[in-house]
Each structure stands twice: as C-alpha cells, then as structure tokens.
Amino acid sequence: MTVAPALPRSSRGRRTPIVLLALGGATFAAGLFRAPAAVWPAYLASVFALTTVGLGAAVFVALHHVTGARWGRAVLPVAHAVTTVLPWAGLAHLVLPFGVATLHPWADPAAVAADHALSGRAGWMTVPWVIGRTAVAFGAWVLLARVLVARSRATTTDSPAGARSAAARAGVRFLLAFAPTFSVYGFDWVLSLERTFASTMFAVYHFSGLFLGAVALVTILAIRRRRSGRLAPDPAWSETLHDLGKLVFAFAFFWGYIWYCQYMLIWYTNLPEETPHYVIRHRGAWEPVAVLNVVLQWLVPFVILMPRAMKRNETVLLRVCAVVLVGRVADLALAVLAPVHGAALPGLAWELGVSLGGVGAFLVLWRRATDGSDEPPTTDVVARAQA
C-alpha cells in the first residue's frame, strides 16, 4: 500500500510559525528591559511546556512498545516527530540562569539567609547544582528518546519480532530514567517557585498532565495530517480514533483524580506550609483560572467522551483535544505564573507575546521534523483492518 500524495503547504502556513517565533523573541527581548518580572515567568512556562510535550510523546511511544500494543502504529510517526523538541527545549534552559533570581526565592542570598525554610535547602538549591541536574536529565532524555524512536521506527516497516522486543527494551530504559529525573526536574524549576510548598504528589500530578496533553496533541496532529493527506492511510482509522479517545478519556479521569487527592489532603490537614499554594490559586483573580483548569482538563473530556460514538467521531475528538490543550495552558499558568505574581492576575500582554513565541517554536520544530517524513502503514494495521 502506498502513501497518499501529500498536499503542498501554503506559504502562509509556513510563515505563521516563523512570525509567531519572531514575535515571541522580540517580546522577550523587549521585556527584559521593560518588564522582566512578566517575561521570565512566561519564558519558564513556555520552556516547561515544550519539555513536557517532548517527554509526553516519548512516554507515549515507550508505553506503546512496553505494553506490546499495536493499535497505535499508524500514529507513532506523529509521536516520533514531537519528541524532536526535547534537545531544543534543553538548549532553551541555558537562558534561565539569567532570570533565576527573578523567579525563584532560593536564588536570592539575602532571602535565603533570612528564611529558615530556604536556608534548609541551600545546599541543594543552588544555580550550578540545578543547571547540572537539568543537564544530566536532558542528556538522559535526549539520548534514550533517540534510541527509543529509532527502535520504534523499525517496527513501523515490517514489524519483525526482534524489532518489537528491541523497542520494548528501549521503552523500559526510557521510563526507568524518566520517572526520577522528571521528579527532580519538576521540583527544581516549578515546585521551588514557592517558598515552603512541598508535595509528594507533585511529580505524579504533572506526569498526568504531561501525558494527557501529549495524547491530546498527538491526536490533533494525527487528525490534521490525515485530513491533509500527509498521514499514512489506515484502513482501521475508526478503531485508532477509538483507542486515542479512550486514552484521552482515561487520563483526563486520572488527572482529575490526582488533582482531587492533592487538594483534599492539603485542605484536610490545613498545614500553614501547604495551604498558601491553594489560597493563591483559589481566591481572588486566579480563582476563575483554577475552575477553568478543572473544567477543561477533566469535566469536558470526561462527559463528552464517555459515549463510545464520541470517541470514534473525528470532529468531536479533535475539538475535545483542543479544549484539553487550553486546559493545559491554564494548568501551566497556575503552576508558574501564580506563585511568581501572587494573588494579582498579571496584565498578560507580555506573557501572551512570549507564549506565542513558544507556540511558534513548537510549530517550527514540528514542520522541520515532518517535512518529507511520511512513513508507510504497518502490515499489522492492514492485517487488523482485514481481519
């Protein structure tokens, strides 16, 4: 079976990501002089978003092979392409040390000396140590993800048993490295934005959002590529959609469960070092964003995708996944912008410009990874359709 001829991309479609990237870069550069307190949190949120997108796609590929699944072979090339943002997200972290004093209380020596909570972390939370740990994490992620994607691509050609086993082993290695390194990475850059907050569920919470967002993004990109004739034909496309819909539904429920567990435990114990985390987000200007976060990432996908027919409806699934990604934006704003700005909602003009630059960066990298990279359908997909 041959791949359907790809439709030519319009020049406007090619220019838009570059325009967004240039706008974000210009906003960030101007903001460094005029509003550093606004552009640094937005930059961190954008970099964290790019990192989680790349990691989420790699986790998707790893779980596919570790579990011995075959249903997603048609959309694996999409996930392969998304993982290519990881090394660039790692390079973007090289800029963060210049803004760490604006973002993190532990980076201010005077604040550390005057604060018992911060001084207790002084040996662990220093700029060289944080950068070193981040470099180790990205080195492991990029190396293991490249091996994983290479092994995974071998299974999308003729699917030999040896290739599937090799991909499964690569997936196990990636997942074993991912779990502890992502936990430390999240603590270093996001959780430590707050002076005293500590949570044993923090890494699990952000993992659930990471994977939910990645599945939603892969689904959107796969549907759009299929509609433009750039996705390998899949005779069992309705079954693939159904499986993607089940993943979105399941992890929306899982994300909501983890959100509730963390909130309920902190509300019930009512400890002074934990409650400020929710006081900032659930009172005042941030309260609508917090409500929107739960509605978009849990309620909407849970209610709409409950019927079987909705999971198999391409248009419905596309729209639900777009809603989930908007919820992810709200989640990242609550995670990064809220602790930096406090109870007051920022003006968002600078933040919007920098965030659009992050979107442009992803689209540029996505186009770079997918130009001429269409992969043929697997024999397993065709056989499943004919069974």
Residues 6 or more apart in contact with residue 55 via CB below 8 angstroms: 86, 141, 178, 182, 210, 214
Q: What is the pLDDT of residue 231?
A: 79
Distance CA 195, CA 272 (A): 12
The pLDDT tens digits of the residues spanning 319-375 come to 999 999 999 999 999 999 999 888 777 777 899 999 999 999 999 999 999 875 544
- pLDDT tens across 149-174, in order? 999 998 877 556 788 899 999 999 99
Would the pLDDT of 387 be above 50?
Answer: no
Please give the pLDDT value at position 320. 97
Nearest to 48 by CA among 174, 185, 216, 143: 185
CA separation, residue 118 to residues 124, 126, 196, 243 (Å) = 10, 11, 8, 46
pLDDT tens digits along 276-296: 889 888 888 899 999 999 999
Closest CA to 74 of 141, 148, 10, 4: 4
Residue 319, in any domain of the structure: no
Q: What's the domain range around 195? A: 11-251+348-373
CA atoms within a 13 Å half-sphere pointing along the CA-CB vector of 128 = 1
How is residue 146 written in tokens? 């490249």
> Which residues are CB-neighbours of 318 under 8 A, at least 6 positions away?
219, 220, 223, 224
For residue 1, the 8-state DSSP code is: -
**Looking at 118-122, 149-153, 209-213, 238-242, which range is the least confident one?**
118-122
284: left (phi over 0), alpha (psi -120 to 50) or beta: left
For residue 301, tell me if it sits in a domain: no
| Mean pLDDT taken over the chain | 88
The reply to whether 278 falls in a domain is no
Q: What angle do CA 141, 87, 353 make, to 5 degrees?
A: 125
Give which of 244, 210, 84 is closest to 148, Cα–Cα.
Answer: 84
Q: Which residue has the higher pLDDT, 113 or 321?
A: 321
- Domain-located, residue 271: no
pLDDT at res. 200:
86
Note whether residue 228 is domain-resident.
yes
Q: What is the pTM of this model?
A: 0.90
Q: What is the pLDDT of residue 370?
A: 87
Judge whether 23 lies within some domain.
yes
Res. 11 pLDDT band, cuts 50 70 90 = low
In angstroms, the CA 373 to CA 232 distance is: 10
Residues whose CB falls within 8 Å of the CB of residue 210, separated by 6 or more in sequence, listed in order: 52, 55, 56, 59, 182
* Total of domains in the chain: 1
296 contacts: CB under 8 Å, gap ≥ 6: 323, 324, 326, 327, 330
Residue 329 resides in a domain: no
Q: Where are the alpha helices (DSSP H) in the chain?
A: 11-34, 36-66, 76-82, 85-92, 100-103, 109-114, 116-119, 127-155, 161-189, 202-227, 237-269, 275-282, 287-294, 300-304, 308-311, 314-332, 338-341, 349-370, 379-386
Instruction: Establish if 57 belongs to a structural domain.
Output: yes
